[in-house]
Amino acid sequence: MTGLRVLITNTTLATRTGTETYVRDLAAGLLRRGHAPVVYSPETGEIARELRKATVPVVEDLREVAAAPDLIHGNQAAELMTALLHFPGAPALFFCHSWIGWSNVPPRHPRVLRCVAVDDTCRDRLSLEHGVEEERLRVLLNAVDLERFRPRAGALPARPRRALVFSNTANDSTHLAAVREACARAGIALDVVGAEANNSTSEPEALLVRYDLVFAKARCALEAMASGAAVVLCDMFGRGPLVTTAEFERLRRLNFGMRALDRPVDAEGLGREIERYDAADAAEVSRRVRESAGLDSLVEEIVELYREVVAEHARRGAADALAESRAAAEFVRSMGLAAKRECAEFRAELLADSLTLRLRNQMPRFPLLERAVRRVARAARRRGL
């Protein structure tokens, strides 16, 4: 079968967080299989450079894409709608990666033929909050690049000696202080990697194999498990359990994410999870990740869905221009309302707690504002301010 021209859209390629690395790995996987991916983002940076190094085209302006795509893979609403308006003949899929944030609300448009959730939590959001019909809804669980994230060379020790907080939100006013205290009580040396710690890494695969125990969530947790570490689910949103074989399937259906982080982050609770550490069980969890959560299988499933969407779009025939125009108008209206709502909620947070660190840690809950603030900060750094 011939390869597909796939336009992948993302809010940003300037930071090293979930959807950016998802896009990077997906685009590289598509390219290896003979497809022609191109990635569009209005904001480029480190991940964009990695994509270009892998010979995946990256654009900040859709006018630079001369050949219309066979379909559009959208990861956030605004960039997907931009691509739909620019390429009026292309069908699309929307991938929901988070329970929170306006950008993860699926845009209602006649050419968005499938909505994909990366876990059961996002599936509930799409189905029960945004009315996505069952026949248009899929769940494709997150995966890990097994070629990149190799297992550790030796077995885990009987008791953990070295631990890592692997999180972009980790600082002393979120969950880091509690993790640090719990590890100190257990006599475990602790390191931190992530944006808030000013210690991001472009090679987490080389880092994770050095640690016995990792505190993380979602994709970071999956990568740590694939590398052979025991994992306690933990982030600014809350604490989950140590991932064991008994709960592996349930927690993976939740992407080791928000719905699994259902307990407060405190040193006592984290200490209890550390005490549950079992080297043999952690090794079995790692084996299951490597057996069932490989990137190659996910890319194949996504390509199959792409072909399903292209075929359905061809059967539908000519587009309804009026319906598409009204869908775009409704999207603009909803975007304005979302921005106002986020501003109002953000002001309420400021009134409730005016501490500077608290303010910074609330930013991920308001993606429109966070995006604007981060852009201003980057511009200031470039000017040496």
pLDDT, residue 200, reads 79
200-to-48, 151, 177, 240 alpha-carbon distances in Å: 16, 21, 19, 23
Q: Are 115 and 106 in contact (CB under 8 A)?
A: yes
Choose among 11, 19, 8, 21: nearest CA to 50: 21
Q: Taking each helix axis from N to C terminus, what angle separates 46-53 and 18-32, rounded to the nearest 10 degrees?
A: 10
The reported pLDDT for the residue numbered 194 is 87
User: What CATH code would you report for 162-292?
Assistant: 3.40.50.2000
Specify the length of the chain in residues: 385
Residue 18 CB: number of other CB atoms within 10 A?
20
Q: Specify the pLDDT at position 335.
A: 81
pTM assigned to the model: 0.86
What's the pLDDT score for residue 230? 98
Q: How many CB atoms are closer than 10 A to CB 308?
A: 14
List, in sequence order, every residue forming a beta bridge with 7; answer none if it has no partner: 38, 72
Per residue of the chain (385 residues), give pLDDT as tens.
689 999 999 999 988 888 899 999 999 999 999 999 999 999 999 999 999 999 999 999 999 999 999 999 999 999 999 999 999 999 999 999 999 888 899 999 999 999 999 999 999 999 999 999 999 999 999 999 999 999 999 999 999 999 999 998 888 888 999 999 999 999 999 999 988 777 878 899 999 999 999 999 999 999 999 999 999 999 999 999 999 999 999 999 999 999 999 999 999 999 999 999 999 999 999 999 999 999 999 999 999 999 999 999 999 988 899 999 999 899 888 888 877 777 776 666 656 655 554 555 555 555 555 565 555 555 544 444 4
CATH superfamily, with its number, for domain 5-142+294-317: Glycogen Phosphorylase B; (3.40.50.2000)
The reply to whether 5-142+294-317 and 162-292 are identical in fold is yes
Where in the chain are the domains? Answer: 5-142+294-317, 162-292
Neighbours of 25 (CB within 10 A): 18
